[in-house]
Chains A and B, each alone.
Chain A
Amino acid sequence: MEKALSDSDLWLAFQRGDQESFAQIYQLHINELISYGYRVTNDRQLIKDSIQDLFLHLWLHRENLAQTTSIKFYLFRALRNKILRNSKTAVTSIDLDEDIFNSLMDLPYEYHYTNQEFEIEQSEKLQNAIQGLTPRQKEIIIFRYENDFTLEEISQIMRLSNQSVRNILHRAVRQLRHYFEIAGPILLLLFNF
């Protein structure tokens, strides 16, 4: 079995101008980046443009980029900045303001439903619960649970203090938990193991 390159090796190869490595970086992470992007805003063109800008920027400035041990972390942080910046260009400010995320995240939280009706019902309920979260809470949930980022990484990506991330996550989880108190006993019967 061919051993996968470590992130730092892959990144170095890309920085040296190896296009295969660059393409590999794209394919390894594009699905995560795009679903993150589509989740935080309805404006798909904004996301597509931002991803395109990001990768083109990486390629053109590859020699001057910092080294990284987590490409995924690097890409998410950079993409989030690009989205903020691109959504602002119309307003001419490149001030990193979180408004875009606050205004755009009130969109349906889409889920992949499984076949079982129960699962669907349950997803819908949790989906409603997630709907009730603030944009920031949702974003942290996406980073933490879908993308496995550590709290430290999330705080860097979102430019928040570690403690803020902790607090926001805590409130989000507590709120989601209430959904179980309403949906209650049926769930437990089915999910006991």
Chain B
Amino acid sequence: MHKKYKKYSVEDFVKDENFILWVKYGDQPLTELFDQVKTNYTYQKEAISQARVIVTKLSQKTEYENQASDISEIWNNITNEMESHHHTQNHTVGWRSILSAASVILLLGFGVWFFKTSQPKTKYATQTASLPYQLQEESSIEEVPKKIILPDGSEVTLDANSKISFSPDFNGSAREVYLSGSAFFNVVKNPEKPFLVYANEVITRVVGTSFKISAFESEKNVVVSVKTGKVSVQSNQSQPASNPQEVSLLPNQQAIFSREEMRFTKQDINYSTVVKTETVASISKFSNTPIPIILQSLENQFQIKIIYDQAVFSNCRLTTSFQNETLKEKLEIICEAIGATYEITKIEVSINGNGCN
């Protein structure tokens, strides 16, 4: 098979399908093929080197300034247009699923914040805008969780792409917090002042406890999971008195509020396993992303510490899409690509390898 390469010029290599695939994707059989070519026709090494540099350069993708926000902007316009067509044509279209699809894009990490803020009538925006007093807002627009200490000493760990607002002094009769996205709360006990979290249609009321709320504006459900203490959740929508939508939760219980059906489902969970391994059902697409950033996103998603040598891997980049893979599967994909090995222990993951040039 390699015979035809005997007399190939640089140009021939650059145009050769196999050669391009080998340079771009480095498949094993092709690597073997070109290793053979180099061994059998040593005089071709130079041509191969040149051709390789040219193909690498030509294949390099360009990311433009503001590309991410442009992408969100275009999608926003498309969905708006779709919606207006939907109204005029009266098709039956489930708009929540479009928005939830949009959330997939959000989670991809491009233009995340732009997209959210450019949506005019989000729940969070309406709620926080209508308040009589000034709020302090904290957000984690990067892929890194952020810990925030509230005025009363309660702790909030904001997951990626989430934000909260609260009164800077908690002066009112209750401690009120507005959440968009997902966060873990560890609330300082104060029976005098209940702690209320407004997240989409759901109000969560506690005295002192720890729990997690996941309420992305674009997702179908609001989920409240309790780790310690007692939590009560209710919907902020008007509801028949005969069927009050209030649910009490104890540790290791979870309330799922379906935003379509406007009702709660309660279920028993094992907090430490369910909440920590909870994966985001979405695709994350990384394109030519530095490995440390990808690992960071795994750390967040799986709430696990990943140990590796920053200096060694900072040059490694990877283009891949993740969907619902487990931590192990993702690590395998990454390590395969950068020629590294990994080890999972109970509390952390360690990755070893020689890095990339």
Which chain A positions have C-beta within 8 A of B323? Answer: 1-2, 4
Tell whether, in the assembled complex, residue A27 and residue B63 are in contact, meaning their CB atoms are under 8 Å apart: no
Q: Taking the complex as formed, is B81 at the interface, i.e. its CB lies under 8 A from any CB of chain A?
A: yes
Q: Taking the complex as formed, is B50 at the interface, i.e. its CB lies under 8 A from any CB of chain A?
A: yes
Offer 29 A-B interface pairs, CB within 8 angstroms, sorted by A.
A4-B321, A20-B104, A23-B98, A27-B108, A28-B285, A31-B63, A31-B67, A31-B71, A32-B61, A35-B62, A35-B63, A35-B67, A52-B77, A56-B81, A59-B78, A111-B57, A112-B288, A122-B57, A146-B60, A173-B11, A173-B54, A177-B54, A180-B10, A180-B54, A187-B50, A188-B50, A191-B49, A191-B50, A192-B46
Tell whether, in the assembled complex, residue A26 and residue B57 are in contact, meaning their CB atoms are under 8 Å apart: no
Question: Which of B64, B98, B288, B321 is within 8 Å of A38, CB to CB?
Answer: B64
Bound Cα distance A85, B153 (Å): 60
Q: Taking the complex as formed, is A39 at the interface, i.e. its CB lies under 8 A from any CB of chain B?
A: yes
Question: Which of A24, A55, A177 is within 8 Å of B283, CB to CB?
Answer: A24
Interface string of B49-74 (1 = CB under 8 A from A): 11011110111111110010011011
Which chain B positions have C-beta within 8 A of A111? Answer: 57, 60, 62
| B contact patch SS | helix
- Chain A residues 1-56 with CB under 8 Å of chain B are 1-2, 4, 17, 19-20, 22-24, 26-28, 30-32, 34-35, 38-39, 44, 48, 51-52, 55-56
Which chain A positions have C-beta within 8 A of B55? Answer: 145
Given A34-B70, A48-B74, A123-B57: A19 touches B93 (CB 8 Å cut-off)? yes
Q: 7 new A-B pairs (CB below 8 Å) besides A32-B61, A191-B50?
A: A1-B325, A26-B105, A52-B77, A112-B61, A141-B58, A177-B54, A180-B53
Given A56-B81, A126-B57, A145-B20: A27 touches B283 (CB 8 Å cut-off)? yes
For the complex of A and B, 6 pairs with smallest distance between CB atoms: A23-B101, A145-B58, A19-B98, A191-B49, A145-B59, A2-B324
Given A60-B85, A122-B53, A170-B11: A44 touches B101 (CB 8 Å cut-off)? no
| A contact patch SS | helix
Which chain A positions have C-beta within 8 A of B255? Answer: none
Which chain A positions have C-beta within 8 A of B287? Answer: 31
Which chain A positions have C-beta within 8 A of B11? Answer: 170, 173-174, 177
Task: Report the nearest B residue to A126, measured CB to CB.
Answer: B57
Tell whether, in the assembled complex, residue B94 and residue A19 are in contact, meaning their CB atoms are under 8 Å apart: yes
Q: Taking the complex as formed, is B232 at the interface, i.e. its CB lies under 8 A from any CB of chain A?
A: no
Bound Cα distance A25, B229 (Å): 44
Q: Taking the complex as formed, is A71 at the interface, i.e. its CB lies under 8 A from any CB of chain B?
A: no
| A142 CB, nearest partner CB in chain B, Å | 9
Task: Report the nearest B residue to A39, measured CB to CB.
Answer: B62
Tell whether, in the assembled complex, residue B105 and residue A27 are in contact, meaning their CB atoms are under 8 Å apart: yes
Q: Taking the complex as formed, is A176 at the interface, i.e. its CB lies under 8 A from any CB of chain B?
A: yes
Task: Report the nearest A residue to B85, measured CB to CB.
Answer: A60
Tell whether, in the assembled complex, residue B81 and residue A27 are in contact, meaning their CB atoms are under 8 Å apart: no
Tell whether, in the assembled complex, residue B71 and residue A20 are in contact, meaning their CB atoms are under 8 Å apart: no
Q: Taking the complex as formed, is A110 at the interface, i.e. its CB lies under 8 A from any CB of chain B?
A: yes
Tell whether, in the assembled complex, residue A23 and residue B104 are in contact, meaning their CB atoms are under 8 Å apart: yes
Which chain A positions have C-beta within 8 A of B274? Answer: none
Bound Cα distance A153, B188 (Å): 63
Bound Cα distance A173, B283 (Å): 36
Bound Cα distance A34, B74 (Å): 10
Q: Taking the complex as formed, is A169 at the interface, i.e. its CB lies under 8 A from any CB of chain B?
A: yes
Bound Cα distance A59, B75 (Å): 12
Which chain B positions have C-beta within 8 A of A56? Answer: 78, 81-82, 85
Tell whether, in the assembled complex, residue A177 and residue B60 are in contact, meaning their CB atoms are under 8 Å apart: no
Which chain A positions have C-beta within 8 A of B75? Answer: 23, 26, 30
Bound Cα distance A39, B67 (Å): 12
Bound Cα distance A39, B110 (Å): 20
| B134 CB, nearest partner CB in chain A, Å | 36
Tell whether, in the assembled complex, residue A52 and residue B98 are in contact, meaning their CB atoms are under 8 Å apart: no
| B252 CB, nearest partner CB in chain A, Å | 28
Tell whether, in the assembled complex, residue A110 and residue B324 are in contact, meaning their CB atoms are under 8 Å apart: no
Interface string of B71-112 (1 = CB under 8 A from A): 101110110011001000000011001101110110010100
Q: Taking the complex as formed, is B14 at the interface, i.e. its CB lies under 8 A from any CB of chain A?
A: yes
Tell whether, in the assembled complex, residue B74 and residue A51 are in contact, meaning their CB atoms are under 8 Å apart: yes
Given A59-B82, A60-B85, A191-B49: A20 touches B57 (CB 8 Å cut-off)? no
Bound Cα distance A4, B315 (Å): 29
- Chain B residues 8-59 with CB under 8 Å of chain A are 10-11, 14-15, 20, 24, 45-46, 49-50, 52-55, 57-59
